[in-house]
Amino acid sequence: MIRVESLTKVFRRPHTFSGPLGPLRTLLTRRYDERTAVDGVSFEISAGEIVGYLGPNGAGKSTTVKMLTGILTPTSGLIEVDGRVPWRDREANARAVGVVFGQRSQLWWDLPLIDSLRLVGDLYDVPAARFAGSLRRMCDLLGLDDFLQTPVRQLSLGQRMRGDLAAAMLYDPPILYLDEPTVGLDVMAKQAVREFIAETNRLGRTTVVLTTHDLADVEALCERIILIDKGRVLYDGGIDDLVTAYAPPRRLVVELADDETRTFEIAAGRPIPELIAQVAAEHPIRDLSIREPDLEGVITRIYAESER
């Protein structure tokens, strides 16, 4: 469904000079600042997958998604989405993808939600009968009925996000890009968004690419993740494999009598009772627990290693 090969994007912009005559010098000189945002990224995603595309801020996630959607033209490398080259065939590609930005709504701010959905239907040439069916399905899945007539600017963040998801899926695109769809939402709203994504993927075999900082989204939805940092792929594969491969050691956390908390790493192969006995001999223990490695810990460790 999506094929990316040695994808690279270098941003090039005129060097800005400071000082009172700075703007003039910027205009007249031909000096450029270059920054490589995506550096030889390759991956393949098949139809019906939900893939988490993860990385710290500035890793190149958004730039990749912008190239996948045809907003940006790659500096070099190959992209194919549903058999098309997005930047060359932008409009056809646009019909095949739905995009949700958590930070920015595509809905018309001053108009009732339903008007925005109708306009999206028009823009994507959805025939009236199919539109009615799609709208019904979206309303049922997302519970839009209560606020269809409310101007978007009066919607809560959670309601607005549900509206945005509906707008992105109204024309049944086979691919859905989600950029931080749960940012700023409360627990209930997050749950609703995740359920919708899972449902869409299950019913319509929609391929989903999800970028997020909330690893709970990833754990709930994705079987596979692609980790990038500084424009390069660090890991591509299943979540379970990742945790096994990179698993930091389990840890023993003990609370001491004087309210102090100490953490001990459990080296691989060492019997735990032995460790506990050793710790108990040296310290007065009040309570203890064992921490299993989690995704967050794994990913933090990978980032830290890529820093070195």
Binding site for another protein (CB under 8 A): 11-14, 20, 23, 35, 37, 58, 62-63, 66, 69-73, 90-92, 94-95, 97, 99, 101, 104, 106, 108-111, 115, 119, 122-125
- The CB-of-152 to another protein minimum distance in angstroms stands at 10
Strand 207-211 with 175-179, pairing: parallel
- Please identify, using beta-carbon distances, which residue of 209 and 254 lies nearer to another protein: 209
- The CB-of-262 to another protein minimum distance in angstroms stands at 41
- The CB-of-3 to another protein minimum distance in angstroms stands at 20
Taking the C-alpha atoms of residue 73 and residue 63, their distance in angstroms, rounded to an integer, is 10
* DSSP type of residue 186: -
- The CB-of-76 to another protein minimum distance in angstroms stands at 15
Taking the C-alpha atoms of residue 127 and residue 125, their distance in angstroms, rounded to an integer, is 6
Sequence-separated (6 or more) residues with CB below 8 Å from residue 13 = 32, 33
Taking the C-alpha atoms of residue 88 and residue 42, their distance in angstroms, rounded to an integer, is 19
- The CB-of-46 to another protein minimum distance in angstroms stands at 23
- Please identify, using beta-carbon distances, which residue of 89 and 214 lies nearer to another protein: 89
- Please identify, using beta-carbon distances, which residue of 120 and 192 lies nearer to another protein: 120
- Please identify, using beta-carbon distances, which residue of 167 and 197 lies nearer to another protein: 167
- Please identify, using beta-carbon distances, which residue of 110 and 292 lies nearer to another protein: 110
Backbone angles phi, psi at 237, to 5 degrees: 165, -165
- Please identify, using beta-carbon distances, which residue of 37 and 302 lies nearer to another protein: 37
The 10 Å Cβ neighbour count of residue 227 is: 23
* Buried b / exposed e along 41-59 (16+ C-beta atoms within 10 A): bebebeeebbbbbbbbeeb
